[in-house]
């Protein structure tokens, strides 16, 4: 393969869709990077690199060693560290870069959202009385509920939470989206959930729990995204493809 060399920092549905849209392009050489945190990641349509880079300096070194022309940050909206590293590495390398970040969810009529800035703040917001909590924040920060052992938790994640939580009442649910509205409604009713803790990740794959909470009148403690300076961003795969075409054309004209 030859042409413009692209590194996609992935792990999201959008990253996989973007890679699939580019796989047949003979003018592009695409590599998809995965952090390796998921035990059984989905099959990807392009060559994959797995594991960390060793911070911004390591990523910058990789970009140089692999002669990458374009860096695309298509990581999860809450993957703040790798996104910050992408900004730093792109600046160090002087290469073109942009982010593909799905838009955040917005509350609509009927939602009972309480917005917070962190998972720790969300757990504190549950209050001092025992509640039945559906925790939908992934496994990386699930341990923060150990600070509030009074509640009964249902914790959903793709892979097992390790180490296991120390709270006395916890049920683990291993599942991977997308999730259907009817299934989310049934689950929330079965477990008699009275509050959901969720991150505002956006997208369609996990939105059903938010719609289900609205229909059932359940409170959602919503962890909002941090607002930090980042790369120029697009919100859709289609917009990303348009930007790639523009940047690839510019690189060709410059003889890069």
| CATH T-level fold of 113-223 | Rossmann fold (3.40.50)
pLDDT of residue 1: 44
Q: Please tell me the pTM assigned to this model.
A: 0.87
What CATH class does 4-103+227-254 carry? alpha beta
Taken in order 99, 76, 183, 187, the sign of the CA dihedral is: negative
What is the DSSP code string of 132-189?
A: EEEEES-STTGGGGGG-TTSEEEEEESS--SSPP--SSEEEEE--S---HHHHHHHHH
pLDDT of residue 116: 97
Q: How far apart are CA 161 and CA 154, in angstroms?
A: 12
What is the DSSP code string of 50-67?
A: ES--SHHHHHHHHHHHTT
**Domains 4-103+227-254 and 113-223 equal at CATH topology level:** yes
10-residue stretch averages of pLDDT, the chain, 256 residues long: 85 92 93 78 82 94 96 93 94 94 95 97 97 95 97 95 96 93 98 98 94 98 85 95 89 61
Domain boundaries in the chain? 4-103+227-254, 113-223
Q: How far apart are CA 189 and CA 212, in angstroms?
A: 10
The three-point CA angle 151-153-158 to 5° equals 160
């Amino acid at each position: 393969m030859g042409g413009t060399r692209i590194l996609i920092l992935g792990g999201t549905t959008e990253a996989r869709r973007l890679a699939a849209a580019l796989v047949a392009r003979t003018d592009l050489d695409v590599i998809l990077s995965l952090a390796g945190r998921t035990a059984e990641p989905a099959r990807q349509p392009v060559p994959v690199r797995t594991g960390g880079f060793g911070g911004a300096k390591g990523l910058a070194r990789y970009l140089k060693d692999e002669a990458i022309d374009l860096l695309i940050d298509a990581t999860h909206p809450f993957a703040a560290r790798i996104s910050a590293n992408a900004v730093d590495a792109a600046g160090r390398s002087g290469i073109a870069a942009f982010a593909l970040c799905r838009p955040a969810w917005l509350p609509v009529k009927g939602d009972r959202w309480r917005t917070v800035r962190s998972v720790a703040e969300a757990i504190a917001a549950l209050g001092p009385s025992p509640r039945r909590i559906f925790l939908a924040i992934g496994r990386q920060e699930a341990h923060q509920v150990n600070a509030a052992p009074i509640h009964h938790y249902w914790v959903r994640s793709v892979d097992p939470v390790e180490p296991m939580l120390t709270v006395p009442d916890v049920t683990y649910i291993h599942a991977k989206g997308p999730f259907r509205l009817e299934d989310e409604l049934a689950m929330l009713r079965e477990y008699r959930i009275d509050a959901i803790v969720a991150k505002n990740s956006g997208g369609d794959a996990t939105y059903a729990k938010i719609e289900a909470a609205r229909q059932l009148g359940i409170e959602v403690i919503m962890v909002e995204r941090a607002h930090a300076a980042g790369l120029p961003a697009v919100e859709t795969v289609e917009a990303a493809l348009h930007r790639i075409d523009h940047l690839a054309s510019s690189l060709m004209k410059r003889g890069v």
